[in-house]
Structure 1
Amino acid sequence: MTITVKKADTFGGHRDCVYALESGATPETFFSAGADGLVVRWQLDRPDLGDLIARVPASVYALAFDPADGLLWVGQNYEGVHVIDPNQKKEVCSLKITSAAIFDIQLYRQTAYVALSDGVVVLLNMHDFTVRRHLKASDKSARSISINPVERELAVGYSDHTVRIFDLETNALKHTLAAHTNSVFAVRYSPDFRCLLTAGRDAHLKVWDVEAGYTESHDVVAHLFAINHVTYSPDGRWLATASMDKAVKIWDAATFRLLKVVDRARHAGHGTSVNKLLWTAYQNQLLSGSDDRTISVWEITETGFR
């Protein structure tokens, strides 16, 4: 089995680095944001149709869309969280929860988990927008969050090189993984929640066996420079990594074997750091956002037999 990668489109319009990509209300819809403070809604079937949803006066590293109420959570650096109705293009709520940078927002069961550069993870009530709790386990930045509803656990990657696992109900610290030799930029549970993937500035992709108490099962030197993001394909068979080395790599999710390198030389890829990925259910298209201000759309197809 081999896979083929074809560049389907390029979305331009951002005036600075693209840091955040998030799914929208339909498979062909997604949101983007970045250093220019613009929050834009796009349609994969209408690449010429960019719709400006909001404009904030600082970089946006984090977006989270709640399909239940159709609201978009926007993390504005140094100013807090803005909750926006994309259809009305109106702000529903603004929460000045921090003067720190916001690196990630994840939504689960009426709680918004917000990772901050001062090491705090803030838990917000999505119903009335109040602060439920502060989780403070490090003085270094909390960079990435992933939620495991099966084991009822919350994984957080930090700039102190560790990954910490919290109980999702009691918020108690359950595990501290000395995961990497530098900042952890990405944590991601597998679709079956049996593995936790971690990656970061040391360019290693690590795999942890959740059911075996987070024992390390794989350590892959995956890129030349920092890995900024990790995501799975909708069917869970493949995963993709994005790096400061300008490449996107596609991996077999079962064996962690490298299947394809998507870069400028081979596929007219990005010319600068790739910051964020979004693997959509729309024609299995993979999106990548970069420092080069563009979002590339990749068609991933399988050839041969398994």
Structure 2
Amino acid sequence: MSKIQVNKLNTLTGHNDSVYALVEGANPRYFYTGAGDGLVVQWDLDQPKDGKLIAKLPHSVYALEVNIENNLLFIGHNYEGVHVIDLNTNQEIWSLKITDEAIFDIKTFGNKAFVATGSGMIIVLDIQERSVIKHLKIGEKNIRVMDINPLQHHLAVGASDHSVKIFDLRNYQALSHMDDHTNSVFALRYSPDGETLITGGRDAHLKVWSSATYQLQKDIVAHMFAINYLDFREDGRYFVTCSMDKSIKLWDSASFELLKVIDKSRHAGHGTSVNKVIWSRYNQQVIAISDDRTISIWEIDLDQMH
């Protein structure tokens, strides 16, 4: 592995339970976290120590999504549905009790929001009308993760039935069904150029798919335990994965070579499962959240590699 410098800049505290949800703001200087304590907190990368409480809910928050066009924060409130915060005022402007199940992920695209639930259902909302448009029954098990390829209008869905399914957002038709994972799929992300889909999950494997054909290109044993999440750097050249094995790993997107392992013993990383990770568009820092109730911010210096 190369001599990549990793520097832990901050450890942020304030949540009283495992931190499950993490999303970047429309202005990527800000990011948002949600946790088992029902708190949703806004953080400022310029002044990271000062978290600002945005919402306090009675149940866990597993899912957060920022709708950039309207500067709205969607909160998936387990057993209660969705709450929508106007980020210009930080006030809740509407909520919908659309499910009494857990909400594992939310994605928005155009004027629609897609809510992934514990009942195998994706609930499609009209953001302007604040109403339900459609129920998409995907399967019987939890839907854990979704991503949208805006170039193809494809929605990729990872579920606890070990499957990855692809839908056309223009007509909600199923386009592809991949059953290559041997356990729940928790992580899934299209590359910034839209040409590749990477998936991961409880089987600790990363699988790389061509998004033109959804044929399997690569299968990598990537972690010791479940892969919880992955995210690309904005330019698409690198991506990071995080795992129940307490580590964050850095990968080359072209070669899929493992470049760096960030963990507790080497870098004072997290002591328990790392649940989500994002690569900030604001300053290219890496932000991670964990069951240890903390948020970590990392500087990864890749410049000397080229």
TM range (shorter): over 0.9
- CA offset digits 1:41-90 (Å, max 9, x no partner): 01111122111011000110110112222211000001000001244332
How far does the alpha carbon of each residue in 1:229-249 deviate from its partner, in whole angstroms, 9 at most, with x for none?
Answer: 010012211100010000000
- Residues in 2 aligned to 1:195 and 1:303: alpha-carbon distance in whole angstroms: 24
Amino acid of the structure 2 residue aligned with 1:219: D
Map of 1:268 onto structure 2: 268
Looking at structure 1, the residues matched to 70 and 297 of structure 2 have their Cα atoms a distance apart, in angstroms, of 27
Paired position in structure 2 for 1:95 = 96
Gaps (5+ residues) in structure 2?
A: none
Aligned residue-pair number: 305
Per the TM alignment, residue 127 of structure 1 is displaced from its structure 2 partner at its CA by 0.6
Q: Is the 8 A contact 2:230 2:278 kept in 1?
A: no
Q: Deviation string for 1:245-287 (max 9, x for gaps)?
A: 0000000011110000000000000000000111102321000
Distance 1:100 1:261, change over 3 A: same
Q: How does 1:160-199 map to 2 (within 5 A)?
A: 160-199=161-200
The gaps in structure 1 that reach 5 residues or longer are none
Contact 2:209/2:216 (8 A) holds in 1: yes
Give the letter aligned to residue 295 of structure 2. I
Corresponding position of 2:255: 255
SS of alignment partner, residue 254 of structure 1: coil
Cα RMSD after superposing both structures: 1.1
Aligned to 2:110: 109
3-state SS, counterpart of residue 42 of structure 1: strand
The amino acid across from 1:290 in the alignment is S
Worse-superposed segment, 25-34 or 234-243: 25-34
Partner of 1:233: 233
1:151/1:89 CA distance change after superposition, 3 Å: closer
2:138 is aligned to: 137
Moved more, 85-94 or 45-54: 85-94
Query: By how many angstroms is 1:174 displaced?
Result: 1.2
Q: TM-score, normalized by length of structure 1?
A: 0.97
Between the two proteins, what is the percent identity of the paired residues? Answer: 52
Change (3 A) 1:152 1:88: closer
Q: Which SS does the other structure have where 1:182 is aligned?
A: coil
SS in 2 for 1:48: coil
AA aligned to 1:200 is G
How far apart, in 1, do the equivalents of 2:266 and 2:58 lie? 37
Residues 157 and 163 in structure 1, CA contact (< 8 A), matched pair in contact too: yes
In 1, Cα distance between the equivalents of 2:68 and 2:148? 17
CA distance in structure 2 between the aligned counterparts of 1:166 and 1:87, rounded to whole angstroms: 33
Instruction: For residue 303 of structure 1, report the CA deviation from its aligned partner.
Output: 4.4
2: CA distance between counterparts of 1:72 and 1:179?
34
Q: Distance in 1 between matches of 2:275 and 2:61?
A: 12
- 1: CA distance between counterparts of 2:128 and 2:60? 26
Aligned partners of 2:59 and 2:77 also within 8 Å: yes
Instruction: Measure how far apart 1:222 and its partner are.
Output: 0.4
Q: Distance in 1 between matches of 2:60 and 2:197?
A: 28
Match of 1:64 in 2: 65
- Taking the TM superposition and a 5 Å limit, the aligned residue runs for 1:1-306 are 2-211=3-212, 213-306=213-306
